[in-house]
A and B are shown apart, each in its own frame.
Chain A
Amino acid sequence: MNDASRAQILNRLHAATKQQPVEAPEAAGLPGEAFSRDEKIEKLKSLMEAVRTEVHVVGAPNWTALFKEILIKRDVKTLLYAPDTTLGDRLQKAWVTESNELPELVTYDGQIEDFKEKLFATDAAITSTVGGIAETGAVILWPDKNEPRLMSLVPPIHIAVLEAEKIYNTFSEAIQTENWSDKMPTNVLLISGPSKTADIELTLAFGVHGPKELIVLIVKD
Chain B
Amino acid sequence: MPNDTGPNFQQNASRALNDKQLRKNFKFAMGNFILKRKQIFSDESKTEQLRQIGNDIKRRALSQLPQLLEQLEEKCTQNGIQVHWAETLSEANQHVLRIMQTHRATRLVKGKSMVSEEMGLNDFLQKKGIEARETDLGEFIIQLNNEKPSHIIVPAIHKNKKQIAQIFHEKLSDTPYTEDVEELNAIARETLRKKFFDAQVGLSGVNFAVAETGTLCLIENEGNGRMSTTVPPVHIAVMGLEKVVEKLADVPPLLRLLTGSATGQLITTYVNMITSPRKDGERDGPREVHLIILDNGRSKILSDPQLRQTLQCIRCGTCLNHCPVYTRIGGHAYGFVYPGPIGKILNPQIEGLKKAGELATASSLCEACAEVCPVKIPIPQLLRRLRNESYASDSFSTVKDSGYKKNLIETIAWKSWEMMNTHPLINTIGQKIMSRLGAQIPKIGPLKQWTRHRTAPKFASKSLHQLIDEEGIQDE
Contacts and interface: CB of A to CB of B under 8 A. Distances in A.
B296 to A, nearest CB: 10
A8 B87 contact: yes
A12 B305 contact: no
A209 interface: yes
B252 interface: yes
Contacts of B91: 1, 5
A141 to B, nearest CB: 10
Nearest to B304: A20
26 contacts: A2-B84, A8-B87, A9-B241, A12-B303, A13-B66, A13-B302, A15-B303, A27-B53, A28-B52, A111-B284, A115-B283, A120-B193, A136-B256, A137-B267, A148-B283, A150-B231, A153-B230, A186-B276, A192-B268, A195-B222, A199-B141, A201-B28, A201-B29, A205-B181, A207-B189, A209-B224
Nearest to A176: B249
Given A24-B59, A144-B282, A189 B253 contact: no
B156 interface: yes
Contacts of A5: 85-87, 91, 295
A24 B53 contact: no
Interface stretch (A57-65, A70-78, A167-175): A167-175
Interface of A: 1-2, 5-6, 8-10, 12-17, 19-28, 30-31, 47, 51, 108, 110-113, 115-116, 120, 133, 135-138, 144-145, 148-150, 153-154, 170-172, 175-176, 180-181, 184-203, 205, 207-211
B383 to A, nearest CB: 21
Contact of A184 (B95, B136, B275, B299): B275
A210 B303 contact: no
Given A136-B267, A199-B137, A199-B141, A24 B63 contact: yes
A2 B85 contact: yes
Interface residues of B, number: 101
A59 B85 CA distance: 53
A176 B223 CA distance: 27
B34 interface: no
B325 interface: no
B280 to A, nearest CB: 9
Contact of A199 (B156, B272, B285, B308): B156
B93 to A, nearest CB: 13
B299 A16 contact: yes
B258 interface: no
B276 to A, nearest CB: 5
Contacts of B223: 153, 195, 208-211
Given A136-B267, A199-B137, A203-B181, A28 B56 contact: yes
B303 A16 contact: yes
Contacts of A14: 66
Interface in B149-182: 154-157, 159-161, 164, 181-182
A9 B160 CA distance: 42
B56 A136 contact: no
Contact of B212 (A13, A154, A181, A190): A181
A187 B222 contact: no
B253 A27 contact: yes
Contacts of A145: 281-283
A210 B267 contact: no
Contacts of B204: none
Contact of B197 (A116, A136, A184, A194): A116
Nearest to B248: A181
B221 interface: yes
